Amino acid sequence: MTIYSIIFYLLSVLILVTTALAITRRNMVHAVVYLIFSFFGSAMLFYLFGAPFLAVLEVIIYAGAIMVLFLFIVMMLKVDTGGERLFPLSQWLPAAVCGVLYLVLGIGIVVSDPNSHDALKTARAEPGAFGQYIFQNHWLSIEIISLLLLVAVIGALLLARRSKRPSAQEIPEGE
């Protein structure tokens, strides 16, 4: 068993554990933090598979921008945490263990990569050629993604329309 397969299995277990912790948390802030750990693990897998650009995009877009958006939504909703501390001690141990393991695995991936000191060749593709490749070879994926985005937009519109309607208690009796 090589070092890469050991790192792969450790990362896979860590991603599954942090995702499970994110799903099972009652406190939304803790769930978002565990989901960020899961995204960092996915980024390390991308790097391990030889796609450093995707790893950087995973961290910047998902762990960065989208999770900040989720945190703003959680803060705007003002979810009641039941009077518990912001970070109870029972949450520190799993978060610290996952963080240390990710740090060790990330350093191990970068240090053990024999190509980490080589300069990468610039890949260049014209937008037309890239679009042709995507739509000829991956058309089903594109159609599924577009359908999911359409369903999400319709759902957002329905939720926004419902929230604008006044409830029966808010309507004055003369109307």
Task: Give pLDDT, residue 173.
Answer: 63
Mean pLDDT of 98-125: 73
Per-residue H/E/C for 68-121: HHHHHHHHHHCCCCCCCCCCCHHHHHHHHHHHHHHHHHHHHHHHHCCCCCCCCC
**What integer best gives the mean pLDDT of the chain?**
78
110 or 119, which is more confident: 110
Give the whole-angstrom CA distance, residue 27 versus residue 71: 12
Q: What is the pLDDT of residues 12-51, one digit of tens each?
A: 999 999 998 888 887 778 888 888 899 999 999 988 888 8
Tell if the pTM clears 0.75, that is, is over it: no
Give the whole-angstrom CA distance, residue 22 versus residue 114: 34
Pick the CATH number of 1-80+90-115 from 1.20.1250.20, 3.40.50.1100, 1.20.1300.10, 1.20.120.1200: 1.20.120.1200
Q: Which amino acid is at 102?
A: Y
Q: How confident is the model at residue 6 (pLDDT cuts 50, 70, 90)?
A: confident
Mean pLDDT of 135-161: 83
Q: Which residue has 């897998």 as its token pair?
A: 45
Domain positions in the chain: 1-80+90-115, 126-162
Give the whole-angstrom CA distance, residue 136 versus residue 30: 42
Q: Which range scores top for mean pLDDT: 65-74, 82-91, 114-123, 131-140? A: 131-140
Between 12-16, 72-76, 138-142, the lowest mean confidence (pLDDT) is in 72-76
pLDDT of 130 > 80? The answer is no
Q: What is the pLDDT of residues 78-109, one digit of tens each?
A: 655 555 555 667 777 887 888 888 888 878 87
